[in-house]
Amino acid sequence: MGKLSRLPAIDMLRGFVIVLMALDHVRDFFGVTQFNPEDLALTTPGWFWTRWITHLCATSFVLLAGSSAFLRGLGAGVPSLSRYLATRGALLLLLEASWISFSWQLAYNVMILQVLWALGAGMIALSLLVWLPRPLMALVAALLIVSHNALDSWHPAGALWQAWHAGGFYPIGQHFGVVFMYPLMPWLGLIAAGYALGPVFLWERQRRQRFLLAAAALLMLAFVALRAGNLYGDPDPWSPQGRGAMVDLMSFVRVHKYPPSLLYLCVTGSLALALLALFERVREVKLLTLFGRTPLFFYVIHIALAHLLGNLYFHLRFGGLPDFSGRDVSLPAGYQPSLVVVYAAWIGLIALMAGLTVLWQRWRHRAARVPSGAP
């Protein structure tokens, strides 16, 4: 968006987390397991870390969306920015509720509200918040993020509370419902925090890097301090597992994503800011920049593509698909989940999406050069 897209480090970070996001989604379709990869009683380090590292994605997307909005508004002005955010947010909500929900199921049994829901609703909220002074915006962001876990013990019924804080499935009729995967309260706080962070990207490069690294260190220290004593910020306390240092570390970092806890946002936000500073110091990786400049195209295409290819893999190799209709997943005879398969499919999907993205960009450039009304 706007001037943000001209900073290669931000394009690279966005592209990097897009590639990680694809790994998580490929795992969903090629590496179906009967256990949660973050269930310490059943998982292995390979499955755990393959899942855990992808937690970085949503935090980075939402944070950068807020900073993008700030930078776009520099030239456009607040009224124009507010209109843009409201219309863009509405488009993302429509995509999430229609095509993206369908892509996850290749059917339409439920409406699944995930990252585009958080981004779309966040942009609509931001279209109102941009009229506030930036310090007040930062205060709103802090209140939404920090106070979220103080409400964990409150369980009022109703779709509004699920959409705002608790998440979960809300039935609409006998055979349909909505799954609120990304409750809005902390995500709205994060997109507002990204907007408040926006002026940092106008600073001189060395000053900006010092700030980003200092902020990353502060967030990581807050995470470690709060997590070590199970003081506040996550509904799932950690504990020594008695099975070695690796499993203890896994317990320590196994923070709550649905909804995102304060500690989840601290540790992933710390990594995002540190990576942003790092990417300013290394040579541009063109593949990451390619994806970072076209994030919506990648997102809209890759879920359905990974789902179709995953179904094809299961049919050709095992003669059937996993069955999710019961309480437990039923897997085809002979199937065993394999991280080798997951990573091979991930590399293949990234290569395929790179080709499709290049074709998409070329088509857009040709279309832009054709005069209006030309045959």
Per-residue pLDDT tens digits of the chain, which is 375 residues long? 334 445 788 899 999 999 999 999 999 999 999 999 999 999 999 999 999 999 999 999 999 999 999 999 998 899 999 999 999 999 999 999 999 999 999 999 999 999 999 999 999 999 999 999 999 999 999 999 999 999 999 999 999 999 999 999 999 988 899 999 999 999 999 999 999 999 999 999 999 999 999 999 999 999 999 999 999 999 999 999 999 999 999 999 999 999 999 999 999 999 999 999 999 999 999 999 999 999 999 999 999 999 999 999 999 999 999 998 777 889 999 999 999 999 999 999 999 999 999 999 999 989 888 654 444
What six digits make up the tokens of 31?
């590496």
Q: Which tokens go with 154?
A: 């409150």
Answer for the pair 100, 116: CB distance below 8 angstroms, yes or no: yes
Q: Are strands 168-171 and 111-113 parallel, antiparallel or unpaired?
A: unpaired
The helix/strand/coil state of 68 is: helix
Residue 39 included in any domain: yes
Give the pLDDT of residue 158. 93
Q: What is the pLDDT of residue 174?
A: 85
In the structure encoding, which two tokens stand for residue 153, read together? 């013990």
Could you list the residue range(s) of the whole structural domain that residue 220 is in? 2-369
Residue 57 in any domain: the answer is yes
The answer as to whether 306 is a domain residue is yes
Residue 111 dihedral angles phi and psi, to the nearest 5°: -100, 120
Identify whether 375 is part of a domain.
Answer: no
pLDDT computed for residue 2 by the predictor? 38
Instruction: Enumerate helices (H) and strands (E) in the chain, giving the number of each.
Output: 15, 3
Q: How many CB atoms lie within 10 A of CB 80?
A: 12
Q: In the prediction, which pLDDT does 73 show?
A: 93
Q: What is the pLDDT of residue 370?
A: 62
Total residue count of the chain as it appears in this document: 375
The residues pairing with 111 across neighbouring beta strands, listed in sequence order, are 178
Q: Is 7 helix (H, G, I), strand (E, B) or coil?
A: coil
Strands of the chain, DSSP E: 111-113, 168-171, 177-180
- The pLDDT value recorded for residue 326 is 74
Residue 374 within a domain:
no
Mention every residue, 6+ apart, whose C-beta is less than 8 A from residue 329.
32, 33, 34, 322, 323
SS3 per residue for 82-129: HHHHHHHHHHHHHHHHHHHHHHHHCCCCCEEECHHHHHHHHHHHHHHH
Calpha distance 154→322 (Å, rounded): 36
Annotate 33-99 with DSSP letters as a single string: -SS-TT-TTT--HHHHHHHHGGGHHHHHHHHHHHHHHHHHHHHH-HHHHHHHHHHHHHHHHHHIIII
Total-model pTM: 0.94
Q: DSSP assignment, residue 25?
A: H
Tell me which DSSP letter residue 373 carries. Answer: T
Grouping H, G, I as helix, E, B as strand and the rest as coil, residue 32 is: coil
Which residues make beta-bridge pairs with 168?
Answer: 180
- Whether 31 and 342 have beta carbons less than 8 Å apart is answered as yes
As a dihedral over the C-alpha atoms of residue 146, residue 79, residue 86, residue 73, rounded to 10 degrees, the angle is -60
What pLDDT, on a 0 to 100 scale, did the predictor assign at position 129? 97
Helix axes 56-76, 184-197, angle to 10 degrees: 50
Q: How many CA atoms lie within 13 A of 335 on its CB side?
A: 24
Does residue 46 form part of some domain?
A: yes
Return the residue matching tokens 């944070």. Answer: 63
Please check whether residue 104 is in contact with residue 170, taking contact to mean a CB–CB distance below 8 angstroms. Answer: no
- Count up the domains in the chain and report the number: 1
Tell me if the bond preceding 8 is cis, omega within 30° of 0: no
Tell me if 51 is assigned to some domain: yes
Q: What is the pLDDT of residue 205?
A: 93
